[in-house]
Structure 1
Amino acid sequence: MKERNFYKYITPLLLMLILFYLFPIVEVFRYSLTDIRLDKEIYSYGISAYQYVLSNPNFWEMLKITIIFVFASMFLQLFFGLIIATLIDEGERRNLKGTLVVRLIVLMAWVIPGVIIGVIWNLFLSEANYGILNYFIQLLFNTKISFLSSQDLALYSVIIANVWRGTAFSMIILYGGLKQISEELYEAASIDGASTLDKFFKITIPQLKPVIFINMVLITIYTFNTFDMIMALTGGGPGRSTEVISLNIYNTVFGHLELGRGSVLAVILFFINLSITLFYYNFVISEE
């Protein structure tokens, strides 16, 4: 009886996963083996799309930019998320006022859509007359900084905007993990004379390791798939200095109508995400 009820409840979920997740993934893999375009009905199977993408020097430059963007964003989001979560948790342990306000302020950046984030940071960093930061820089130093129009600075500007956006997500996950750590561990460490740093590195970090792993996987995958904020902030420019793979997939499919080549990029992105997830998992397991 229990087994029959199990299948009754799990079947709708399985059907939804197959229809909305598994089927689209299979179709992406299938389209990657074709030369299909959105404006043509006839297409043929082959590996010409893979040959085109992998032999294109722009792809490898774009891959390098994507890796820099993802891992810089991941590290900084994790770092600032951990600091903010620890400070909030410590403030609540000491019954300090204002911790709820801090959480709400940090969460505001997370709930704003990516396109709006891009527009906001464009207004903040632009060299035009409406650029807020450059307005004050010009008042103080009589010059402007090319945050978005310089190929050397644009990528760093995009990373900063993405970190500002994504730190809240890391803070939420790590804050939840901190709440699961027993207070008795800290009390025992205090009795033994442990300092605040000792408690942090010998209790907090080891106890948070599984949560940090989940956080790293989620923000890495999420950042690899980020394109809306970049599209609104720089459009992938100047030149192609901020064009990541996810943005190129969007431009390839909807701008150039090359569904086959866009699917190849999506497949490559899928295996990159899978490889990084397995690496994180093996790293965490080997440390235990």
Structure 2
Amino acid sequence: MDANDHGTVNPSNKKRGSWRSSPLPWLLPLVAVLAFVFAYPIFQIVRLSFTDANLIETDFHYTIDSYVRLFTLPGFYQMLSTTGFFVFFSVVFQLMIGFFIALLIVQGEKFKLRGTVIVRTAVLVAWAVPGVIIGIIWNTMYNETDAGIFNYILSFLGVGPQPFLSDPLLSLLSVTIANIWRGTAFSMILIYAGLQTLPSDVIEAARIDGANAVQRLLRVIVPILSPILLINLIIISIDTFNTFDMVMALTGGGPGRSTEVISLSIYNSIFNKFNMGEGTATAVVLLIINVGMTMVYLKVLGREGR
């Protein structure tokens, strides 16, 4: 009698069936694409950062001079301080304004006020518009003649044309304000979604206990939303560190290097100075920053998933 008649399973068939039911064949193409699109470029960036390669000559040598030169140039620390100012104030005000707008929309929907959909749509427009277009729009608004929108408004107050894009401090402030306007929408979306999930019984209990609106906001709503706020903070920090297109279109890093953030410095080093080694070394610094913030993000997600 055949062994299969006694209910035994052919080992080869079992192995073939387990392979067919495994998700590995479906994941292999994805792994290959990720390796080609992400892993290989990152490997090349790290490798080239330890060379003196440039875009003019094909020969290069492995060296750490790119890092030595990067960390010893005075412009590197100016770039870090510029990026720090840009990121800090962008993130803080994106979070605050996004929270305020989301709170207003939720309250407006609660009282059935008209226009909440229009407000949501208007805020989301800033998120949908490409960064290059935003840079061009704000460049027009910051026009330093009387034809500029901001200077035209200031003329009614008796204030002369302001050098929004030619003064080093004002230009950095102008770029930061434009980025706040651009990134507020994302914070508003996350916080608005979080406000929709607030337990009404907890807020009602706080109201019965005598807590006023400010106390309910600071002692009930904010603590409940703290995981969402923290995740939002990390995401917009990563996004702001990588901002390039808007700054490029708005100021190009000028005047001088007063608005040259890390991502723009990478572009200038490689495509303007043709210095591949220094540009990739700067990219590695940005990569380390992004990986660090991503690890914090994953740790927060893991803690909230427990």
Could you state the TM-score of these two structures normalised by the residue count of structure 2?
Answer: 0.86
1:133 and 2:113 matched: no
Please state how far the C-alpha of 1:55 moved relative to its aligned partner.
1.1
Letter in 2 for 1:41: T
CA distance in 2, matches of 1:180, 1:142: 47
Whether 1:232 aligns to 2:249 is yes
- Identify which of 128, 145, 150 aligns with 1:111: 128
Secondary structure of the residue that 1:141 maps to in structure 2? coil
Partner of 2:231: 214
Alignment match of 1:247 (pick from 264, 272, 275): 264
Pair 1:75-2:92 in alignment = yes
Structure 1 residues 176, 5: CA separation in 2 closer, same or farther (over 3 Å shift)?
Answer: farther
For 1:1-288, list aligned pairs within 5 A. 4-141=21-158, 143-277=160-294
Distance 1:142 1:68, change over 3 A: closer
For residue 59 of structure 2, what is the amino acid of its counterpart? Answer: I
* Superposed displacement of residue 129, structure 1: 4.6
Inter-partner Cα distance in structure 1 for 2:44 and 2:197? 41
Q: CA deviation at 1:32?
A: 0.7
Matched letter for residue 168 of structure 1? A
- Distance, in Å, in 2 between the alignment partners of 1:100 and 1:112 is 18
Measure how far apart 1:152 and its partner are: 2.2
Measured after TM superposition, the shift of residue 67 of structure 1 is: 0.5
CA distance 1:45–1:172, change in 2 (3 Å): same
Q: 1:269 to 1:181 in 2, by over 3 A?
A: same
1:225-272 CA-to-partner distances (Å, cap 9, x unmatched) read 112111111111112111111111111111122222111001111112
Deviation at 1:215, TM superposition (A): 1.0
More displaced stretch, 121-130 vs 275-284: 275-284
Displacement of 1:3 in angstroms is: 9.0
Which amino acid is 2:289 matched to? I
Which sections of structure 2, spanning at least 5 residues, go unmatched? Answer: 1-17
Q: 2-side partners of 1:119 and 1:218: how far apart? A: 25
* Partners of 2:252 and 2:38 in 1: CA distance: 28
2:5 — aligned with what? none
> Do the aligned residues in 1 keep the contact of 2:231 with 2:297 (CA within 8 Å)?
no
Equivalent residues of 1:213, 1:281 under 8 A apart? no
Say how many residue pairs are matched: 286
TM-score if structure 1 supplies the norm length?
0.91
8 A Cα contact 1:148 1:238, kept in partner: yes
Query: Is the CA contact (8 Å cut-off) linking 2:145 and 2:161 kept in structure 1?
Result: no
Q: Distance in 2 between matches of 1:172 and 1:216?
A: 13
**8 Å Cα contact 1:125-1:134 kept in structure 2:** yes
Distance 1:278 1:180 in 2: 26
**What amino acid is the match of 1:136?**
I
Q: Which amino acid in the other structure matches residue 144 of structure 1?
A: P
The match for 2:12 is: none
**Larger Rg computed on CA atoms:** 2
Q: Deviations over 1:18-67 (max 9, x none)?
A: 22222221211111111111222211111111111111111111111110
Identity value in percent: 45
